[in-house]
Amino acid sequence: MSGLSYLNDTPRRGFDYLIVGAGFAGSVLAERLAAGLGKRVLVIDRRPHIAGNAYDHHDEAGVLVHRYGPHIFHTNSQRIVDYLSRFTQWRPYEHRVLAVVDEQQVPIPINRTTLNALYGLDLQSDEEAERYLASRAEPVDDIRTSEDVVVNQIGRELYEKFFRGYTRKQWGLDPSQLDKSVTSRIPTRTNTDDRYFTDSFQQIPLHGYTRMFERMLDHPNIKVMLNTDYREIRHDIQHDQLIYCGPIDEYFDFCYGKLPYRSLRFEHRSLDQERFQAVGTVNYPDEGVPYTRISEYKHITGQAHPKTSITYEYPSAEGDPYYPIPRPENAALYKRYQQLADATPGVTFLGRLGTYKYYNMDQVVGQALALYQRIEQAQRESQEAPAEAEERLTHLAR
């Protein structure tokens, strides 16, 4: 890997910051602290690579693939685009997803094309599609669960075709047991827009995510240590401040119990053909099919190659922590850990594992930049009134 400074031995001099996790949260903050404030930063990760879940690499066939499933960058924040553009050029890419339903492949989110294809209709306008969906909707008075959200919006039949099986596979729970926030993210459209996202900026790093992270971490004040768990080195590395982007419950030795996560098993396949499917991702809501979706990377990366590479996603209860399970009792458990974090000086929790919340990549970048601003401000104030600001510096995440 070019440019990065790897550390293989315990350093003699300490660091201003030890950052656990080389994903978006840790790497953005490391870059800012080093380049913006001249801090000496050590970034560690227990995986053998940087970039966290956004890690991409060329597989044996030479196709650029995402090891942890397809990562599509989309945002409405120009500030975040401007920041990341210091480290990468971009390639325009609008993600499209089809769902296999009733032996057809139809657009998801459900739109007018979906309804016409599924029911042999000829809805011509938004108004007609709106009336059609309204005629199927089954109003629910008190919307509390994911099932309520969808049935209320589009009725039970479409709910069962598109959401019930998919959600049961994805979460291992029936939508009636899941918080309404899970499906309130999924829009239904009456037009024919078949893009998965509608954000103003939809582009992916031209040479991949890992290359962008290499450039972000390529700074004389940043050292990187891979294959290193925080537990192995916590007593050996001198540091003033700790930024922890790993699971918050693990940091506290699971003292209140484990925060539940849903995991995924990725099955990567290289195929001796140029194309496998029509779009970047195809969803399989049918409960009889064990995987939830198949993604083909060449759609996303634009790479020309005689072979193609795809990934099947199998949801599972065991494995790396990917999705915090949004249920009230889990939020309450997280609150207890958060209170413990508030009472622990010198450590700040950041990122999706540190704050037990599903964030898109742009949101994590935003979270890291916001934390940096608070650190920078505290530092500025400490130059004016050192004692009070020192106190503030140790409790920045609150």
Ligand X SMILES: Cc1cc2nc3c(=O)[nH]c(=O)nc-3n(C[C@H](O)[C@H](O)[C@H](O)COP(=O)(O)OP(=O)(O)OC[C@H]3O[C@@H](n4cnc5c(N)ncnc54)[C@H](O)[C@@H]3O)c2cc1C
Min separation Cβ 109 and ligand X, Å = 15
HSE-up (13 A, CA, CB side) for residue 111: 17
Min separation Cβ 359 and ligand X, Å = 5
Which CB sits closer to ligand X, 22 or 333? 22
Euclidean distance between CA atoms 26 and 38, whole angstroms: 16
Measured in degrees and rounded to the nearest 5, phi and psi for residue 150 equal -75, -45
Which CB sits closer to ligand X, 34 or 133? 34
Min separation Cβ 16 and ligand X, Å = 19
Q: Where are the alpha helices (DSSP H) in the chain?
A: 24-37, 78-84, 112-119, 126-136, 146-154, 156-158, 165-171, 209-217, 230-233, 248-251, 297-301, 328-342, 351-354, 361-384, 386-393
The mark string for 363-382 relative to ligand X (x by CB under 6 A, - otherwise) is: -x------------------
Binding of ligand X by 68 (CB under 6 A): yes
Min separation Cβ 168 and ligand X, Å = 18
The mark string for 79-118 relative to ligand X (x by CB under 6 A, - otherwise) is: ----------------------------------------
CB 113, CB 192: distance < 8 Å: yes
Binding of ligand X by 77 (CB under 6 A): no
Number of residues that bind ligand X (CB under 6 A): 34
For 332-381, the DSSP string reads HHHHHHHHHHHTSTTEEE-HHHHTT----HHHHHHHHHHHHHHHHHHHHH
Which CB sits closer to ligand X, 234 or 392? 234
Pick out residues in 7-66 that bind ligand X (CB under 6 A). Answer: 20-26, 44-47, 52-54
The mark string for 324-363 relative to ligand X (x by CB under 6 A, - otherwise) is: ---------------------------xxx-----xxxx-
Which CB sits closer to ligand X, 107 or 112? 107
Show Cβ contacts of residue 223 under 8 Å, excluding neighbours closer than 6 positions. Answer: 5, 6, 7, 11, 15, 41, 42, 43
The strands making up 323-324's β-sheet, listed across from edge to edge, are: 104-108, 97-101, 281-283, 293-296, 308-316, 261-271, 323-324
The mark string for 239-268 relative to ligand X (x by CB under 6 A, - otherwise) is: ------xx-----------------x----
Min separation Cβ 268 and ligand X, Å = 13
Nearest to 10 by CA among 221, 239, 218, 219: 239
Residues at the site binding ligand X, with contacts judged by CB under 6 A:
20-26, 44-47, 52-54, 68-73, 229-230, 245-246, 264, 322, 351-353, 359-362, 364
